[in-house]
Structure 1
């Protein structure tokens, strides 16, 4: 019976630990607990993911050098964490929401708001600024060129009206109403497909 090389198993368990830490940080970031400090979580997430790739490379090198495989437990744990991570990331980014019906982006000097409508009647809005991102979601109804948000207010304020208008010829979505009830066509609009 061959004794497994402890360094292969050590790297394999370090991979489990690193992936788990990265996933835990990702869960903190997407739960918007530390909304104003998300950039300080994104950096460690990137570092742990790069470290994980390095550990996989080291494991492959050790396997080639020694010809021995890591034990099944760290491999199974790594695959489980990686699968959970991937499915959660995919779910959060519309992988299971059906076909995209419309994509639009609102840009200003300090922030960006991305609106995505899906065929299952769900919308997501990512509101980004220098230090973080907030994700909002809900249901919508499309009637001709009008989108009616069922969850209102959409972003916690009346910045986006409950009914917004799509103008496909101009490639714009108008969403901010003026005091007289008409839509602001000067600045407050999203660009479709941006």
Structure 2
């Protein structure tokens, strides 16, 4: 097999692995499989690493031989990579404008991250040992009170419809006890964590 054929073969393998990686990312990004998502994450990681390896392999071989893969393969690979970037950006709030607050709640087996954006949107990622779920909605900030306009805030009542920001302690208290007061000893988001 000559260098030209090797570059063509590697560029097609790159396209295949990148496409599989993007398909796996869509499964993760849109929470199609929430139980045991870790196995999809492992496959996603492997294909992403494989894509990076093949990108370098194709670029180095093309630079040495001064021969590029077919234009159609390059265009399709770039289109898949661009869609990957757009999906990643959309899922992680890159197109929501400026982030005004970022905080995290940690316990022994899970983590919840919340981000508030200037456009009145919030994004919450709830992570546990085997997966992650994403929630989004609208909020309104009134002084140091966050009023979540989406009911429920996540898929259960763990986070109250209102949360209070303690800027001095850099905490957001989000859970109320039976008498309606915020629980401040454990249930809080740490700002800037």
Q: TM (normalized to structure 2)?
A: 0.95
2:164 corresponds to 1:185: no
Match of 1:31 in 2: 30
Give 1:62 shift.
2.6
Give 1:182 shift.
0.6
2: CA distance between counterparts of 1:130 and 1:47?
19
Give 1:61 shift.
3.4
Give 1:4 shift.
8.2
Match of 2:152 in 1: 153
SS in structure 2 of the partner of residue 177 of structure 1: coil
Match of 1:116 in 2: 115
2:11 corresponds to 1:12: yes
Give 1:58 shift.
2.0
Give 1:63 shift.
2.1
The CA deviation string for residues 32-59 of structure 1, in whole angstroms up to 9 with x for no partner, is 1110121101111111111112212221
Match of 2:82 in 1: 83
SS in structure 2 of the partner of residue 13 of structure 1: helix
SS in structure 2 of the partner of residue 5 of structure 1: helix
Contact 1:126 1:133 in 2 (8 A): yes
Alignment of 1:102-181 (within 5 A): 102-181=101-180
2: CA distance between counterparts of 1:61 and 1:161?
54
Give 1:65 shift.
4.2
Give 1:178 shift.
0.5
SS in structure 2 of the partner of residue 35 of structure 1: coil
Contact 1:153 1:162 in 2 (8 A): yes
2: CA distance between counterparts of 1:153 and 1:97?
21
Q: Between Structure 1 and Structure 2, how many residues are aligned?
A: 192
1: CA distance between counterparts of 2:64 and 2:155?
57
User: Which ranges in structure 1 are unaligned for 5 or more consecutive residues?
Assistant: none
Contact 1:4 1:69 in 2 (8 A): no
Q: TM (normalized to structure 1)?
A: 0.95
Q: CA RMSD in A?
A: 1.4
User: Which ranges in structure 2 are unaligned for 5 or more consecutive residues?
Assistant: none
Larger mean CA deviation between 45-54 and 170-179 belongs to 45-54
